Amino acid sequence: MNTLFNGLLNNDEFRKLDFSRLILSAGGGMAVQEAVAKRWLEATGCPNNASEGYGLSETSPVATANRTDTDKFTGTIGLPVPNTEIAILDDDGKHLPVGGTGEIAIRGPQVMAGYWQHPARRPR
């Protein structure tokens, strides 16, 4: 997460490490800030924003991720991971157009089937 990346960057011993074999840094739990992503790339040569993801406990744990073939900061949650569908729904469960504000609905093999012993609280 952003706080961890920033904390490591502020540690002199960490900055002395050899990052030549580092090929992927994953960010999650909170958005990675552009300034931290830039400093991380400068210090390690490995972008952390390229693998920033969005998910929930119910999506075990990721539903979207940024592309890993670029070191450009996007400031977005990326694209759905394979076999995952995402829609924005209104209060009646109808799909909203791009740019609409509503509930994020996620369907995929990583989404849990329901809550333990609470069948009425199943994700829709």
Q: How far apart are the first and last CA of the chain?
A: 29
Share of the chain above pLDDT 90, in %: 50
Q: What's the predicted TM-score (pTM) here?
A: 0.77
10-69 tens-digit pLDDT: 999 999 999 999 988 888 888 889 999 899 989 998 876 556 889 998 998 899 998 888
Residues comprising the chain, all counted: 124
Which residues are CB-contacts of 41 (< 8 A; sequence separation ≥ 6)?
Answer: 47, 48, 71
pLDDT at 46: 86
Where in the sequence is the domain holding 19, given as residue range(s)?
2-121
Is the pLDDT score of 111 beyond 90? Answer: yes
CATH number at residue 50: 2.30.38
Q: How many domains does the chain have?
A: 1
C-alpha to C-alpha distance for 11 and 58, rounded to whole angstroms: 34
Q: What is the CA radius of gyration of the chain?
A: 17
C-alpha to C-alpha distance for 102 and 123, rounded to whole angstroms: 16
